[in-house]
Amino acid sequence: MSDDFKRVESHDCPMSTCAAPAGSPCRTGKNKVAIQYHTARFRLVPQLTKVLSVPTPAVRKPGSLWTELPRPASAGAEPVGHVRLGYARASTARQSLDAQLDSLAEAGVTRVFSEKISTRATRRPELEAAVKLAGEIRSSGVHVTIVVHEHKRLGRGIELATLAEELKASDVGLEFLTGELKGSHDPSGIVFTVLAAMSGMEREYIRDRTLEGHESARKRGKTIGGAGVTDESMLSMALHLREQEMSLRDIAKRVVITTGKKKGQHPSPATVMRMLREHDEHTAVVSAP
């Protein structure tokens, strides 16, 4: 189950018709648990600002009578105590973790998560475990900081920025013992703000470069993905959503492929762009005098 709802529920709902306090799901006008969180609330979470909706998980019993749940210990309360969790990583099995572990020990960190795994790995189990434990400890009312020898051990670019967003949502701090970002960084501080902004900028950059690459390939007569998956029903839905001034990304999330091996999946934004462009070009030719 996704932890998105926990991040959303770390905030009070700003909707006057809901006003659910932190720790509780959103509610409807009939005082039922809403089936999804209000947009104004989940957009308070940086990594959820561009999604269309955040569903209420089954554990909150959507549709049932709404009752207020206990507020998180961290909500509106000063942290009591301070726990520092360490993380160390080497890119290959041959590399030693000794220098990082010694550095963490000298800094007084006693609980350390470590692993030997490539920077390119999509999952890092020990880092995920450290972040999960940090969130659980912080929710109990204790201030938590994840301590790392150097920021590069956490990842580069968008990986580090995405992690920073997640830690900020849980109100967990970061401390780097050396390197360009050496020092302790509070979740509300400038480093977290810059990393979050960098995350959004890099996502948009990757998206734009991908779409530009698809367009360049099309001009050369090449097809990049999505060939043969479009049909009239998809086109009709895409045109309807475009009239509502939705982005390509949001349209792609609403449209469903109805035939072929990818049946039931969503097309890529590039496929939607190509489908709409080809429709517009065809319409222009037909309507030309």
More confident residue, 119 or 85: 85
User: Where in the chain does DSSP place strands (E)?
Assistant: 82-90, 111-116, 143-148, 173-176, 183-185
* Full-model pTM: 0.47
d(CA 238, CA 144): 46
For 5-16, what is each residue's pLDDT tens digit?
Answer: 888 998 889 888
> How, if at all, do strands 173-176 and 82-90 pair?
unpaired
Tokens of 26: 């959103």
pLDDT digits (tens, 9 = 90+) for 170-183: 888 889 999 877 88
Give me the pLDDT at residue 104, please: 94
- Residue in this structure with the two tokens 């097809």, named with its chain if needed: 223
pLDDT at 230: 67
The greatest distance separating any two alpha carbons of the chain, rounded to the nearest whole angstrom, comes to 79
**How far apart are alpha carbons 116 and 114 in whole angstroms?**
7
pLDDT(78) > 60: no
Please state the φ and ψ torsions of residue 94, each to the nearest 5 degrees.
-75, -25
What pLDDT does residue 199 have?
44
State the Cα–Cα distance between residues 201 and 195, nearest whole angstrom. 10
Percent residues over pLDDT 90 in the chain: 23
User: Which pLDDT band holds residue 56 (cuts at 50, 70, 90)?
Assistant: very high
Active-site positions?
91
Mean pLDDT, residues 47-69: 89
Name the amino acid, one letter, at 141: G
State the average pLDDT for the chain: 79
Q: State residue 233's pLDDT score.
A: 79
pLDDT, position 198: 52
| pLDDT band, very low/low/confident/very high, at 33 (cuts 50, 70, 90) | very high
Whether pLDDT at 147 is above 90:
yes
Terminal Cα-to-Cα distance of the chain (whole angstroms): 56
Q: What is the pLDDT of residue 201?
A: 47
pLDDT value, residue 267: 85
